[in-house]
Amino acid sequence: MPDYRKVKCVLLVFCLFIACLSIAAQAQNPFDIRQFSATTVISGVPTQGRGGMGEMKIYRSADKMRTDMPGGMGYMIVDLSQHAAYMVMNGMCMQTATQTQSNPFAQASDASIDRSPAGADTLDGHPCKVENLTITPHDGKPMKMKVWEAQDLKSFPIKVEMQTDKGTVTVLYKDLSFDAPPASLFTHPENCRQMPSGMTGPR
């Protein structure tokens, strides 16, 4: 049986991670990179302790995203068009609805976005434009972040600092590729069952 406390932590970090990426993409509209793969490193609250979450591989192809969880725990697939998430661990598949409040991919496109310049920087050799962003969904609370947009990588947000009610979460992206990920990465077992109540991630 999976360790549900660890699963819940992974779900929380994963939803925050998607929020970071999607908000940056919406702020640069039409910058919406719908095909890529990258390695992510997430740090800060709530990942403190036990060495953090470590590195995770993430893939996107159109409306589907996949994250391989650290330590070989398993993987998660999110179908953005269906607002559904599938977590595969230890041969088991659990399904849950994505949380609208934590996942702007599932929100309406009429959110208001405030942007302010925060200078320029060089990160891992990439010249970046730095911006402060505040996004306010029409039916949710504002979310604030600072984004480093790599000018030589299609303005991809290679670093995001996101302010949450639990503190600051930092997401770094490396090993970025814009090649199409294999379609096989976005499949999941057919015998998925509903995730137990209380395990559906943050609200």
**What is the CATH number for 123?**
2.50.20.10
Q: How far is CA 183 from CA 38, 61, 66, 83, 191, in A?
A: 16, 8, 11, 19, 20
Predicted pLDDT at 69: 83
201: in domain:
no
The reported pTM is 0.77
For residues 138 and 161, give the distance between their C-alpha atoms in angstroms, rounded to a whole number: 23
29: in domain:
yes
130: in domain:
yes
200: in domain:
no
Tokens of 30: 């039409």
46: in domain:
yes
Q: How far is CA 113 from CA 70, 169, 186, in A?
A: 32, 20, 31
48: in domain:
yes
Q: What is the pLDDT along the chain (203 residues), one digit of tens a residue?
A: 455 555 555 665 566 556 555 555 544 443 467 889 999 888 876 555 554 567 889 999 988 889 898 778 889 898 877 878 898 988 789 888 765 434 434 343 456 778 899 999 999 999 999 999 887 766 667 878 898 999 999 888 899 888 777 788 888 999 999 999 999 999 988 888 887 655 544 43
* Counts of helices then strands in the chain (DSSP H, E): 1, 12
Residue linked to tokens 């399904």: 95
Number of domains the chain is built from: 1
For residues 154 and 37, give the distance between their C-alpha atoms in angstroms, rounded to a whole number: 14
Predicted pLDDT at 196: 65
Predicted pLDDT at 12: 58
Predicted pLDDT at 14: 61
Range(s) of the domain holding residue 160: 4-194
